[in-house]
Amino acid sequence: MQKFRLTQGMRGAVAAAAIATVATLGTAPIASARTIDILETGSTLLYPLFNLWVPVYHRMHPEIRINTQGTGSGTGIAEAISGVAQIGASDAYMSDMQVKQNPAILNIPLAISAQTINYNVPGLNNIHLKLNGPVLAGIYDGQIRDWNNPAIQRLNPGVRLPDHVITPIHRTDGSGDTFIFSQYLSFSTPAWNARVGYGTTISWPAVQGGLGAIGNPGMVQASSQTPYSIAYIGVSFTREVARAHLGTAEIENRAGMFLLPNLHTVEAAAQQLVAKTPRDERISLVFAPGKFSYPIINYEYAMVNAHQADGATAIALRNFLSWAVNTRGGNAARFLNQVRFIALPPRISALSRQQIAKIH
């Protein structure tokens, strides 16, 4: 008797069917008619915070189901505009032109984040090297090629800097971290501003051997694997940076002070710009004045369309976002400390609430 054999094609079909079955089972809607689904997508820096928020919020409001995705700030903005996502997370605010094209999209700050400049220089990772905007701009545009360059030595008298080529690492994907790092270089160094400027992706000057990495995890990995490299990394990755034994630089602010990001220096910088924050809350917090202001901080935004498809979703969004910006809710220290974010100052959270009230 001839055995039954699957032909190549049939085997493929069976496998495909099996996969399809598993996939459908996995995502089968278990929702009752009343469940409201909210999709959050975008910034990888905000992603860990949303993942702390959502389970807690879901326990309080089981009827609201929020799905989170870390896809990048650009995708967050684009999907908030297209309506795929109800919340687009972004480290960068929208440009004037984007706002003109999409007047219904609100830029709502949820918290304040900062960025560290990290390096992997064998022997020097335990001390905090001092760096400033012009030196970082020189490293990233190829004019400062070696660690023992006089410009770096001048900022670090008494430190024995190695005679070794620097490998600058930048983000390959569109990133809010690139946005605020390049803003710091632009605001502190006119030559950089004229030649390169700022954005979520910029045209990095050609530095032979300069590396690109994907996401903050990629920056940590590339930097720890590459001796004599330098990188900019979101502050919510401080734990990973410590585990990789990278050095963290003290960065010069507008007043000429060299600072590390911590609760006090980030808050001090934010306070400087509270009064200047406009009603639509689109403003850069980078290179703030003030003696104790850490220079590279930013608002973390939720991009939300003011006109939601249905009333129930609009109410759910209003409730969730109001909870998120409240210091007794999502802005509580027990959430923010874990990712090293800072709560919104009262005036800013009031502005955010005014914007949230526009969602209908």
Partner 1 sequence: MTLKPFRMVLLLATSLIPLALAAIFVFLVRYSWPAIHFNGFGFLARHTWSLGNLYANPTVKHGQQVPIGADYGILVFIVGTLSTSTVALAIAIPVSLGVAVFLAEGLSARLRPLFSFIVELLAAVPSVVYGLWGYSVLTPIIAHDIGPAVRDSVGRVIPFFGGSIGSGYGLLAASLVLALMVVPIIAATVRDGLARVPAETKEAAYALGATHFEVVRRAMLPMVRSNIIGACILGLGRALGETMAVLMVSGGALNYLPNNIYSPVTTMASFIVSQLDSALQDPTGMAVRSLAEIALILFIIAVLTNVLARFLTGSRNVPTI
Q: Which residues contact 338 (CB under 8 A, 6 or more apart)?
A: 48, 52
Is residue 1 a contact point for partner 1 (CB under 8 A)?
A: no
Q: Which range touches partner 1 (CB under 8 A), out of 31-39, 143-151, 164-172, 351-359?
A: 164-172
| Binding span for partner 1 by CB under 8 A among 23-31, 58-66, 132-140, 200-208 | 200-208
Can residue 300 be called a binding residue for partner 1 (CB under 8 A)? Answer: no
Report d(CA 184, CA 192) in Å as an integer.
Answer: 10
Q: How far apart are CA 182 and CA 34, in angstroms?
A: 45
Question: Hey, which residues between 204 and 223 contact partner 1 (CB under 8 A)?
Answer: 204-214, 221-222
- How many residues of this chain bind partner 1 (CB under 8 A)? 41
Residue 334, helix vs strand vs coil: helix
Q: Measured from the CB atom, is 204 or 237 closer to partner 1? A: 204
Q: Report if residue 41 touches partner 1, rule: CB under 8 A.
A: no
Query: Interface with partner 1 includes 303 (CB under 8 A)?
Result: no
Q: Where are the beta strands (DSSP E) in the chain?
A: 36-42, 64-70, 87-90, 105-120, 130-131, 167-171, 211-213, 229-234, 247-248, 250-252, 258-259, 297-305
**Site for partner 1 (CB under 8 A): which residue of 36, 46, 77, 342?**
77
Q: Is residue 203 close enough to count as binding partner 1 by CB under 8 A?
A: yes
- Using CB under 8 A as the binding rule, whether residue 229 contacts partner 1 is answered as yes
Among 260, 258, 223, smallest CA distance to 240 is for 223
Answer yes or no whether residue 201 interacts with partner 1 by CB under 8 A.
yes
- Residue 188 parent element (H or E): helix 176-188
Q: Round to whole Å and give the CA distance between 137 and 140.
A: 5
Q: Of 47, 49, 50, 72, which lies in the binding site for partner 1, with binding defined by CB under 8 A? A: 72
Counting contacts by CB under 8 A, is residue 125 touching partner 1?
no
d(CA 352, CA 2) in angstroms, rounded, equals: 73
Of positions 149, 153, 226, 326, contacts partner 1 by CB under 8 A:
226
Nearest by Cα to 287 from 300, 270, 301: 270
Q: Which is nearer to partner 1, 201 or 322 (CB)?
A: 201
Q: Output the smallest distance, CB 325 to partner 1, in A.
A: 25
Distance (Å, whole) CA 26 – CA 23: 5
Please report whether residue 78 would count as binding partner 1 according to CB under 8 A: yes
21, 67, 225, 354: which one binds partner 1 (CB under 8 A): 225
Binding residue (CB under 8 A) for partner 1 from 51, 101, 327, 338: 101
CA quadruple 136, 139, 144, 148: dihedral sign:
positive
**97 touches partner 1 by CB under 8 A:** yes
Strands 297-305, 105-120: pairing is: antiparallel
- Binding of residue 153 to partner 1 (CB under 8 A): no
State the DSSP code for 218.
H
238 forms part of the interface with partner 1 (CB under 8 A): no
Nearer to partner 1, 173 or 250 (CB): 173
Residue ranges that bind partner 1, judged by CB under 8 A: 71-75, 77-78, 95-98, 101, 165, 167, 170, 172-174, 197-214, 221-222, 225-226, 229
